[in-house]
Amino acid sequence: MRFIRGGWTRVPLFPSGEFFRPVSFTLEAPETAHQHPLVKLSRLAWLLATLPLLTGCQTTYTQVRVTNPRGEIIADWVARGHISHVEEGYRITAVERTDGRPSRGTTRYPDGWRTTVVGPYIHRWPCAEPAWLAAEGK
């Protein structure tokens, strides 16, 4: 519709006198549609990023050592699985603890013991599964 002096009137939009013209177009099949290389790359990146999550659970072990300011060992821990940093220290699931005082003693936790490691200096590094735990098959 178009306003012409005196009011609104219908004026053809196309030279052939049509008020509207049907639009026809064809869609390409998905396999023949062009896809930008960055889109393909981003899909590949997502696939590669999620692949480690789908490969199953592998238990990791970490050695955690607490020392005093002179470097003397207070305690050694072997932690299984995820270690999270908390305000006081590290939250771990311990499978073994060795006391570093003059009377050294080792305590084993085959089912794991959820605890927080606290101390003045805490060092951690990856380690192998303890031999006694591997022998038990847990």
Instruction: For residue 4, tell me if it sits in a domain.
Output: no
Position 71 pLDDT exceeds 70? yes
Higher per-residue confidence, 16 vs 1: 16
Beta bridge partners of 63: 78, 125
Instruction: For residue 94, tell me if it sits in a domain.
Output: yes
Structural domain including 94 reads 61-128
Instruction: For residue 68, tell me if it sits in a domain.
Output: yes
Q: What is the chain's mean pLDDT, rounded?
A: 79
Instruction: For residue 134, tell me if it sits in a domain.
Output: no
Backbone angles phi, psi at 108, to 5 degrees: -115, 140
Question: Residue 83 CB: number of other CB atoms within 10 A?
Answer: 16
Residue 53: its pLDDT value, please? 62
Instruction: For residue 115, tell me if it sits in a domain.
Output: yes
Instruction: For residue 9, tell me if it sits in a domain.
Output: no
Instruction: For residue 114, tell me if it sits in a domain.
Output: yes
Instruction: For residue 136, tell me if it sits in a domain.
Output: no
Residue 90: its pLDDT value, please? 93
pLDDT, tens digit, 9 for 90 and up, residues 75-93: 999 999 999 999 989 999 9
| Number of domains within the chain | 1
Backbone angles phi, psi at 70, to 5 degrees: -85, -5
Of 1-5, 40-44, 72-76, highest mean pLDDT: 72-76
Higher per-residue confidence, 16 vs 127: 127
Residue 58: its pLDDT value, please? 76
Instruction: Tell me, letter by letter, the H, E, C secondary structure of 69-138.
Output: CCCCEEEEEEEECCCEECCCCEEEEEEEEEECCCCCCEEEEEEEEEEEECCCEEEEEEECCCHHHHHHCC
